[in-house]
Structure formats: structure tokens, C-alpha cells
Amino acid sequence: MTDPVREIKERINVVDFLRSYLQLLPAGRNFKALCPFHKEKTPSFMVSPDRQSWHCFGCGEGGDVFTFLMKYENLEFYEALRVLAEKAGVELRSIARTGEREFNVLFDANAAAAEYFKAMLGKTPAVLEYLKKRGLKQETIEEFGLGFAPDQHEGLLLWLRGKSIRPEDSVRAGLAGRNERGLYFDRFRGRVMFPIANHTGRVVGFTGRILPEYERPDLGKYVNSPETPIFVKSRILYGFYRTKGDIRNANAALLVEGQMDFLMVWQDGVKNVAATSGTALTPEHLSTLRRFADRLIVSFDTDEAGWAAGERAIDLAQALDFSVRVVTVPGAKDPADYVAAHPGSFEGLVLSARHAMEFYFERYGFKEGNALSLEEKKKAARGVLGKARNIASPIEKMHWIKKLAEISGVSEQALLEEMERLPAGPPAVQTGRQDLPESGAERGSQEASGPAPQTLTRRELIAERLLGLALSENSLPALKEAEPYLPPLYREAYRELVRGRPDESNASPRVQELAGLIQLRAGLEMGEHSTELMRQLKKEYLKDRQHELSLKIAEAERAGNDGRRDQLMQELASVAKEMHTI
């Protein structure tokens, strides 16, 4: 059987194809151009005729004719396939296998549902008015594909049937239910709909907020899609597919709760934001963010439940060696309310976010104008010391103990002794996760999400720069000491580059491709310094190690294995210590 994708690639030359979109300038045996996917003044977009591929070293996007077309024209893989097949004169036969269909139908159903909800919103001005009254702008509503589920039993089901999606597949996709009489019904009725996309940007589920006029005590204010093979709640952060680049560039992430907070804050100009939605914060959420940023700004509601949730987030984030700050919204219930009342001012709030320890001073009672009795003071100091003990950096730890001494009037020495006497135990880390994903769910969702371009993690990005730089300076052997910190694939590519002779290579295609990419990069002068990159690489390596450990900790917690958890927590702490020696 012939492979239409390969056939198309053989017939369409990437240089000719991209030339119809971009102005290509010669660069040695390659071509360069201004990247259409990010703003730039000097070209970092390279096209390689040898490898029939393109890559932007500015934003990290890259791929072949398919990925270019998908990204440029915002097409799904199968749409791009159709366009290119026509261009290349390749006939498409049935290309979907059964297993793939079973899986893809979940994506198709969710995508079709998003379309339906959007169309319904367009037809219901009152709901649009409601969203605008809550402060959302038209552009934001469109950008994040908000919609409306009318109060009907079979509105969506009929629409999906019209798209050849069977009711049983709608149930599997979490969009419909079935009652005891065997009748199917829409899961979401009379609700504003927020599509939830996975980290590559495909809709995998929804949150539906009931319209005020339909509110009833027996109906949940929010209804979420259930877990499905493509919707793994403990991993997915709302909006992350859209903001991960901003988070990486800012090296900081603002974490909020729920879609409305996310949208209002994003609309207000704070783009490096992500939100939990429909589930409590998990270590997986945080360690995903950790791979993109060093700093975390936690925002939470000012009620008691909000404080408790915030405290959990801080402790977990500090265990992952995030530098944590806390932003609270004065005089408002939540960030969304605050932005609605004071548009244009959230960024200022984020900039003035307090250090997590300052938050703890207040939490335990050290507030201005709050006179404490000796007993209260002791209790408050113990609370703060319990948190300070978990700080990985000794310098930072001493800084806060000094501060505590100032505020409490107790000597540093006494505080240190008190800290020693606190009952031992690792910082509390809870997963808040109730249900397990179906096995292989993540792998499956990645496979089925098509060849969408992947955003590199910081570690990969740094590895790529470092190798490109070393190659252009002819100093590859000097990178030996950095080798253990390279991501596995880059390590192999490094060896491949040191070995030379690409024609005789027996490395895997992925490694060869990466080595080729690094050679392509070496053609760009980026004005970088290798010792600094090496330092950063080691840091990212340790961060990834923390990521792995935190996943294992979550696992041990779920299994109720306290011994293993404590051991892992110790390992985590030693990684954090090593981090501070860099």
C-alpha cells in the first residue's frame, strides 16, 4: 500500500512551496526568511532543501510542508492532507484505520460540539450580553471559542448526528448521557460553554456554567466533561496551549483558578497565565509549568477555602523549587471581579505580588496592627518556621528568619532553636486527585493529536542553542562535561555530531533529524555564550529531575506508600540543594 503522505512529500519541494508564502533569502546551501509565526526583525526561519524541512530558531516551530500549511492556514492534519494531495496530484484512499477512528472520533465530536456551541452563542444575543456584562470582550470570547448550550435535550446530539457522529460516541466523548429508558440526552443544557483544549490546542472537553436564569439548587453551577481517553484532568491546564510560549518567555507563570479568572486576566494583558479547571491543582500541573518557568505567581480567592487552596499550591510549588509569589485581589472576590472593576491594572498587581513567606507571616497572624499575646506569638512563629524550613536556599532561609526575628521581637538564635525542635516531616504534598486516567491515555492523545509542532521545553531549547553554538565555533569536544545534562535525544545527536560522517550514520531517524537541525542552526549567529548556556542546561536538567520525582511522589501518595514518598521527598530536597550550588 502506498503512503499518501510520503508520496506528497516526494512531489512537493519545500523550498518551492514555502516560496509561495515567504520571501526566501539564500543562506549557504539553505534559505532563510522572516518567521511568519512570531515577530522578528532579523531572519531566524531556516529552510533546508536537503532535509526538505523548515525550522524557526526564534520561536521553535518547525516541520515539513504539512506542518507549515497547518500552522499557516490553521488547518487540521486531514484538511492539509487534502489540500496538498490535490496540489501534488495524489489520490487519497481510505486512510483511517479502525483504532485510529475510535480515538479520533472523540476529538471530532468535541471539535464539532465546540462549533455547535459557538453557533448557538451567535444566535442568542442575550447570552452574549451576559458574557459582556461580566466583562469579557468580543475578541476574548472568539479567541477562546466560548459558546452556549441551549436548554434542549437533543440539540447537540442532533447536530453531531448530522456530522455522522453516533450517539454512543457522543457519550464516550463526554458530551451526552443515556437515561434508564435508553434515551440519549445532551450533558450540557442552558449553560455558557468554555472549551478546554489539550496542550497542543485541540478541544478535549468543556466546562459549562449555568446561566443565572436557570440556576436551581439541584443543578450544579458548573458542569465539566468527565475524564475520557483524551481528557485527563490532572494534566490539562486551561489555556496553556495558548500561553506556554508567553510563560517560557517571561520565565514566570501566573496560576489562577477557573476559566473566568484566566480569561479576564489574559484580556487585561497578563498573557503568561494558566488555570486549573474542574479539578484541584495536582503535582502534574505544577511540574508541567516548572519545565517552562522558574517563577510561579499564585493567585487565589480571599476566603478561607481560597487560602487553604493557596497554601497547598505554595507548599507544593516550593517543594518543586519554584520561586513563589502570591497575588491577592484587594476588595474583590476573585481576579475576574477585580479586572472587571479595575481594567488595565492586573499587571501592576502581579508586579507587586508578595513573596510566599510574606503571605505566611500574615496567614499565621503577623499582621500590621495585630497585637499578639505571647502564646499567639509562639504559635504564629512556629507556623512560619515550619514553612521557612522547607526553603531550599540557606541564604533565603536566613533572610526570612531575620525578618521573623524583627517582626516577632524574638532573637534569631531562639528562632533557629525552635525550628530545630519542630516535629520532623517533609512538607505536605497532596494530589487532590480522585480518579486515574485510562492507561496509555496520554500517549494515545499525543499520537492522535497529529503532527502539530511541539513547543520545546527550556532544557531542549538550551541544549539546541548550546550544540548549535559549539558546532559553529568548532568546539564540540569541549561539551563533554555538559553531556549528562542533555535531554536523551540531544545526547545522541551530540554523539552523532561528534562522530561526523552523516552518510554512514546508523542512528535513528529522529536523532539524525535532530543532528541536521542543529547543523541548520549553526548557520545563525545568535551572540550567545557557552558557559552561561551550560549553567542553564544543568539547571534545566535538575528541574526535569524534580518533575520526574514529583510525578513519582504523586504516584506513591496514591498508592498510600508513605515510606517511598518520604524517600522521594528527600531526593527532591537534595536536587533542590544541588540547584543552589549552580
Give the residue at shortest CB distance from Zn ion: 35
- For residue 520, how far is the Cα from the chain centroid? 28
Short-list 247, 281, 276, CA closest to 262: 276
Whole-Å CA distances, 97 to 94, 104, 451, 514: 8, 10, 17, 29
The residue among 35 and 467 lying less far from Zn ion, judged by its C-beta, is 35
Looking at 32-40, 118-126, 139-147, 217-225, which segment touches Zn ion (CB under 5 A)? Answer: 32-40
Looking at 31-39, 205-213, 254-262, 335-343, which segment touches Zn ion (CB under 5 A)? Answer: 31-39
State yes or no: residue 520 binds Zn ion (CB under 5 A).
no
Least distance between Zn ion and beta carbon 59 (Å) = 3
Least distance between Zn ion and beta carbon 36 (Å) = 8
State yes or no: residue 58 binds Zn ion (CB under 5 A).
yes
List, in sequence order, every residue forming a beta bridge with 275; answer none if it has no partner: 238, 256
How many Å apart are CA 238 and CA 219, to the nearest integer? 23
Whole-Å CA distances, 308 to 253, 285, 336: 20, 18, 20
Other CB atoms within 10 A of residue 180 CB: 5
Whole-Å CA distances, 6 to 52, 153, 158, 506: 12, 45, 38, 21
The residue among 56 and 157 lying less far from Zn ion, judged by its C-beta, is 56
Applying CB under 5 A, which of residues 22, 24, 59, 121 lies at the interface with Zn ion? 59
Least distance between Zn ion and beta carbon 30 (Å) = 16
The residue among 48 and 225 lying less far from Zn ion, judged by its C-beta, is 48
State yes or no: residue 72 binds Zn ion (CB under 5 A).
no
Least distance between Zn ion and beta carbon 458 (Å) = 17
Write each residue from 382 to 421 as x if it is in contact with Zn ion (CB under 5 A), else as -, in one continuous string. Answer: ----------------------------------------
Residues 192 and 214: beta-carbon distance below 8 Å: no
Residues 295 and 322: beta-carbon distance below 8 Å: yes
Least distance between Zn ion and beta carbon 535 (Å) = 26
| SS3 category, 256 | strand
Looking at 34-42, 214-222, 498-506, 565-573, which segment touches Zn ion (CB under 5 A)? Answer: 34-42
The residue among 42 and 373 lying less far from Zn ion, judged by its C-beta, is 42
Looking at 30-38, 74-82, 289-297, 348-356, which segment touches Zn ion (CB under 5 A)? Answer: 30-38
How many Å apart are CA 263 and CA 261, to the nearest integer? 6
Site for Zn ion in 35-54 (CB under 5 A): 35, 37-38
Least distance between Zn ion and beta carbon 44 (Å) = 6
Whole-Å CA distances, 127 to 149, 187, 218, 271: 10, 19, 22, 26
Give me the residues that bind Zn ion (CB under 5 A), please: 35, 37-38, 56, 58-59
